[in-house]
Amino acid sequence: MRSFIVVCLISAVSCLSIEKPQEGDLGWNFETVNGAGTYRQGEQAYLSVKVTDNGAVDENDDWKFCTWTRVRDGAYCRFSYDCDGTFCDIGVGNFYITKSCSAGIDTRVKFFGEDPNVSNQVCGLEILSVSRDDSSEWKVQVEECRVTGCGTSDGNGYVISTSVNVVVN
């Protein structure tokens, strides 16, 4: 009888599949997407997304990595939500945003969003002075934090994406 129970338990556990949810299945998604439009050369442009977990108790509503890519040539900026401190793994520490961009746009763009020590749901890209090069679809990919507190060095693998179209006259 004991062997039978063990076999049943092993069978039940092996039948459970832990699949990564598809984008539409996630409670975590985009609440707002901003920045599409027509800009005059030299203007500032603010492209941004806000993520939400829609109140899901088993998901995190903060992003870990956010990458904005100019589709026409692949130029990009990646922002990471990082932390310094002993207790970062439980969400206590000094949180900040790290920027890593491809050559050519790194000096023309900067991050904008919320104070990372308060909240981390908005990931924005400020283009300080748009040029004709910026006239493109801009794709943003956002990865959710691994755990509440977001102090780990990696995300949980759930990536959502969307895009905005920027036209520069």
Domains of the chain: 24-168 (2.60.40.10)
User: Which helix (DSSP H) or strand (DSSP E) does residue 155 occupy?
Assistant: strand 155-168
pLDDT of 24 higher than 60: no
Burial 117-152 (b: 16+ CB within 10 A, else e): eeebbbbbbbbeebeeebbbebebbbbbbbeebbbe
For 50-63, what is each residue's pLDDT tens digit?
A: 999 888 776 677 89
- Full-model pTM: 0.83
For 120-156, what is each residue's pLDDT tens digit?
A: 999 999 999 999 999 999 999 999 998 767 888 899 9
Residue 97 has a pLDDT of 97
Residue 25 has a pLDDT of 53
**Parallel, antiparallel or unpaired: strands 94-101 and 37-39:** unpaired
Q: What is the mean pLDDT of residues 95-111?
A: 95
